Structure 1
Amino acid sequence: MSSLKFGTSGLRGLVSDLDGPPAYAWTRGFVGHLERSDQTGSKTVLIGQDLRASSPSIAARAAAAVSDAGWTAVNCGALPTPALAFAALKRDAAALMVTGSHIPEDRNGLKFYSPSGEIDKADEGGIRLAHDDLVPEVREAAHSLSLADLEGGAEAAIEAYMHRYSTFFGSDALKGRRIGIYEQSSVARDILTTILNALGAETVGLRRADSFIPVDTEAHRPEDVALVAKWAEEYGFDAIVSTDGDADRPLVADETGTILRGDVLGMITAKHLGLSSIVTPVTSSSAIEASDFAGEVLRTRVGSPFVIAGMAETARKGGSAIIGFEANGGVLLGSDIERGGRMLEALPTRDAVLPILCSLAEAAGAGKPLSEIVTEMKAGFTAADRLKEVPAEKSAPFLARLVNDHDYTAHLFEPIGVVVSIDDTDGIRTILENGEVIHFRASGNAPELRCYIEAASEPVARDRLAWGLETARRELG
């Protein structure tokens, strides 16, 4: 059975299941769905990729599928996913990003954009149907095109993306700030350097990698945490920044080397840009509702398609100043912003660069260290981690029992508190009498069970996380 499936953001699975006829067939299904649903735009597909070793081959197979369908394939090379999405919107074009985001290198994926933006769950169903309707000869095709022979779009897409931020924030926004850039295998490593320098910051590149490193901005690898702390002590940076593989999730550490939570980055971004209509999944901190800058807050399931749907719903109901963000730090800009005669256009797809720039600019503008800006957010204390190699057939019965068997759940949580409510919007979010939150959720991208904690202090959050992981491990057998 193939490992390929739609998760929280695109189609993902093992490289061995994707690179070959499946990459061709799923791309033909994507184009076929756009034609069936009258979303053809300019009948052009911009193709981008991250820095995984398998991405060029998969991109070449996707390009062949686009061309064989009678559309124009444009090679945008290695670039951030949000840069590809921004370029596609400008050209009334569809887009396909070859990326596995933060998951290990033996996996990869396809992320799809219609000419109007990132696809939703209904589009995923349509792509699946169009794929399944392909005749055997098409589904089994395995040829590819030389990417070098295609129209090139990398330079224009990257320049437009960098110009978007350098003009809005201005050349003095980060003047006097010294920023470390953890380059690793992020597709945005050079772009980040260029943008930060354009805003007046001094930058230092750190630990550039030739092979892919699966940086997860929500469940940090211990080696990344140690590296960032070491660099902060050694260099005296004002901040250290990075992204995941395709640059739609940020990593930001303050001057002490403490890595900021993704939802805190989202909160800082909303405050810095003056955006009060917030759409965010249930995994983000409940402190958002208590903040002094949030107006309407809409909670969704985890995944950018759900956040995008929530932003669209907010707009339909007359909402304005709309922003979406996830606990992984990716920010989706739902409204145009004008400030000092400069415009930042809406870009409703997950982006790492915007929250990086907003957090740095908020601290620089206030003349404060980044750690103080975080303290002012009053975002509480959280912790998160995951159990790896937990397939859905093991996690699903455990989660179902938590929500359906109240006696079981009460007994399970008895060592740490009394359960007062359960939210099953996405996974099982259990709220205790003392206000603590223990949230179990199966990952949509990999065979993992994630655990999220909210508590009154950092030590308690760590303790509850250890309890949650050990309890789940025991119950899963």
Structure 2
Amino acid sequence: MTRKFFGTDGIRGKANVYPMTAGFMVELAQAVGQYFNADTKTHRVVIGKDTRRSCYMLENAMTAGFTSAGMDVFALGPLPTPAVGLLTHSMRADLGVMISASHNPYHDNGIKFFGPDGYKLSDAVETEIESILVGRRFGTFDGQPGRVTRLNDSSGRYVEYAKTTVPDRTRFHGLKIVLDCANGAAYNAAPEVLWELGADVISLGVSPNGYNINADCGSTSPAQAAQAVRDTGADAGICLDGDADRIIVLDETGTVVDGDQIMALLAGRWAQAGRLNHNTLVATVMSNLGLERHLAAQGIKLLRTPVGDRYVVEAMRNGGYNMGGEQSGHIVLTDHATTGDGLVAGLQFLALLKESGEKASKLTRQFDPVPQLLRNVRYSVGSTPLEHEAVREAIAEGEVKLGDKGRLLIRKSGTEPLIRVMGESLDPALLDQVVEQIVEKVTLHG
């Protein structure tokens, strides 16, 4: 069936606008309950959230739906997405729920589901839940309603686990680190982890008010953190997003280091240590050609997937790989986490920074990227600009112009009404011309 509600990363939309409404969330939770109530045991659900004001509304609505279906709910409070995956598994829950729109502004929100193994639910399970929901097959539960328990030490559990992901004797004494938590889910846990490991932490984005999540801060807006790195003479900066499943690193000059460079660094070091499974890194079609060439020179294979960390993780699990991620900063290290974990990835980087004694600018400049240009074009809901003949012709013409020395990737966003137009070429002027021509056509017909 065609999926109506689930996108590439759960369900997402504007809070208090269908489907991100309290009424829909009650029914969604009941549909999930119907899926799990195929047997007679009492099922356990853990629910985490980020710091958006709307999370309280959605959390209470889903709790009502789950308990009405006889499921026991454990409320975790504000917590990073990877921590929800961790606690779903460690608490032997049947389901984990993260209420977050990740890097989106406060007025959006979303729902991500995790299975009992701590990994996000498969497309097949999400599709079955959606069919129950659309067909309104959840009915009435005749047993006792479930109970609700608030887990007060959920953040502490994640803090303790995160520290175990670096070698036992590693301490960050002598490192001054700017840490921007985007006024999001990691505002408590992340500074505590770095401080307990010995770093001198300069914390930004740790005063959430329900509306300032991702607002001019965090991984999508690192300018404030970059200035703080320069002003304080910090060794590096770490910027997380609203649910802390992605990371952007800043070197000591405040220069942004994207996920491709971090993956290149970690993959190279893990390969040298014999830790990189099958000598393969999994990344998406968005990753730079320079990364692929750099890895190939070291005998490391780059396996590309569609955009979306769920597809990266799916390929990793299918092939037995233990490192993958996205240029945007989702870094998935399945030796340590079941999904992207910005804090854990940051700890791996800081451990290498401490061990090497090098400047962050040298450590993170692993390869020279091929010039890349990405433009996001918003389109009207209901329109289909990529199906318009003029847009298809512009794309075909662009591919011919770039030839074998570049590439184009044009796709719809899975979370927002955007067409993402990305191109790469060794000729920046030609690249700009090709991308702008396509953007013009998409804008005209969007």
Does residue 269 (structure 1) correspond to residue 272 (structure 2)? The answer is no
TM-score between the two structures when normalised by the length of structure 2: 0.85
Query: Partner of 1:357 in structure 2?
Result: 347
List per-residue Cα deviations over 1:132-176 (Å, max 9, x = no partner). 23259779xxxx99xxx8312241x32232222313324644221
Q: What CA distance in whole angstroms lies between the structure 2 residues aligned with 1:109 and 1:348?
A: 19
Identify if the C-alpha distance between structure 1 residues 232 and 214 changes in structure 2 by more than 3 Å, giving closer, same or farther: same
The partner residue of 2:177 within 169, 172, 179 is 179
Map 1:117-266 → 2, pairs under 5 A: 117-134=119-136, 150-155=148-153, 157-169=154-166, 170=168, 172-207=170-205, 208-213=207-212, 215=214, 224-266=221-263
The partner residue of 1:348 within 338, 361, 374 is 338
CA contact (8 A) 1:268 1:377 kept: no
Identify if the C-alpha distance between structure 1 residues 264 and 453 changes in structure 2 by more than 3 Å, giving closer, same or farther: farther
> How far is the alpha carbon of 1:370 from its aligned partner?
1.5
List per-residue Cα deviations over 1:268-296 (Å, max 9, x = no partner). 33334442322222111233432155634
Q: Does 18-27 or 259-268 show the bigger shift? A: 259-268
Map 1:55-454 → 2, pairs under 5 A: 55-93=55-93, 94-116=95-117, 117-134=119-136, 150-155=148-153, 157-169=154-166, 170=168, 172-207=170-205, 208-213=207-212, 215=214, 224-273=221-270, 274-275=275-276, 276-290=279-293, 291=295, 292=297, 295-315=300-320, 321-334=321-334, 336=335, 345=336, 347-391=337-381, 393-398=383-388, 408-411=394-397, 413=398, 418-419=400-401, 432-433=402-403, 435-454=405-424
Query: Partner of 2:22 in structure 1?
Result: 20
Identify if the C-alpha distance between structure 1 residues 333 and 390 changes in structure 2 by more than 3 Å, giving closer, same or farther: farther
Query: Partner of 2:6 in structure 1?
Result: 6
Q: What CA distance in whole angstroms lies between the structure 1 residues aligned with 2:160 and 2:431?
A: 41
Q: What CA distance in whole angstroms lies between the structure 2 residues aligned with 1:380 and 1:246?
A: 30
| C-alpha RMSD over aligned residues | 3.3
Q: What CA distance in whole angstroms lies between the structure 1 residues aligned with 2:169 and 2:78?
A: 26
CA contact (8 A) 2:204 2:225 kept: no
Identify if the C-alpha distance between structure 1 residues 250 and 138 changes in structure 2 by more than 3 Å, giving closer, same or farther: farther
Q: What CA distance in whole angstroms lies between the structure 1 residues aligned with 2:390 and 2:341?
A: 36
For 1:451, the aligned partner's letter is V
List per-residue Cα deviations over 1:401-446 (Å, max 9, x = no partner). 76xx5x65444x2xxx734xxxxxxxxxxxx236233322211101
Identify if the C-alpha distance between structure 1 residues 396 and 380 changes in structure 2 by more than 3 Å, giving closer, same or farther: closer
SS at match of 2:185: coil
What is the aligned-residue identity percentage? 24
Q: What CA distance in whole angstroms lies between the structure 2 residues aligned with 1:264 and 1:121?
A: 30
Q: What CA distance in whole angstroms lies between the structure 1 residues aligned with 2:254 and 2:412?
A: 30
List per-residue Cα deviations over 1:241-298 (Å, max 9, x = no partner). 1211111111221111112112222333333444232222211123343215563432
Q: Structure 2 stretches of 5 or more lacking a match?
A: none
For 1:187, the aligned partner's letter is A
> How far is the alpha carbon of 1:396 from its aligned partner?
3.2
List per-residue Cα deviations over 1:51-105 (Å, max 9, x = no partner). 0000011111111111111111001011001011101111221101111111222
Identify if the C-alpha distance between structure 1 residues 467 and 229 changes in structure 2 by more than 3 Å, giving closer, same or farther: farther
Q: What CA distance in whole angstroms lies between the structure 1 residues aligned with 2:90 and 2:431?
A: 45
Q: What CA distance in whole angstroms lies between the structure 1 residues aligned with 2:71 and 2:29?
A: 12
Identify if the C-alpha distance between structure 1 residues 461 and 81 changes in structure 2 by more than 3 Å, giving closer, same or farther: farther
SS at match of 2:419: strand
> How far is the alpha carbon of 1:125 from its aligned partner?
0.6
Identify if the C-alpha distance between structure 1 residues 454 and 82 changes in structure 2 by more than 3 Å, giving closer, same or farther: same
TM-score between the two structures when normalised by the length of structure 1: 0.80
Q: Structure 1 stretches of 5 or more lacking a match?
A: 316-320, 337-344, 420-431
Q: What CA distance in whole angstroms lies between the structure 2 residues aligned with 1:201 and 1:235?
A: 14
The structure that is strand-richer by fraction is: 1
Q: What CA distance in whole angstroms lies between the structure 2 residues aligned with 1:456 and 1:363?
A: 31
SS at match of 1:73: strand
For 1:125, the aligned partner's letter is T
Identify if the C-alpha distance between structure 1 residues 231 and 356 changes in structure 2 by more than 3 Å, giving closer, same or farther: same
> How far is the alpha carbon of 1:361 from its aligned partner?
2.1
Give the length in aligned residue pairs: 427
Identify if the C-alpha distance between structure 1 residues 469 and 246 changes in structure 2 by more than 3 Å, giving closer, same or farther: farther
Does residue 467 (structure 1) correspond to residue 436 (structure 2)? The answer is yes
Identify if the C-alpha distance between structure 1 residues 226 and 312 changes in structure 2 by more than 3 Å, giving closer, same or farther: closer
For 1:210, the aligned partner's letter is N
For 1:85, the aligned partner's letter is G
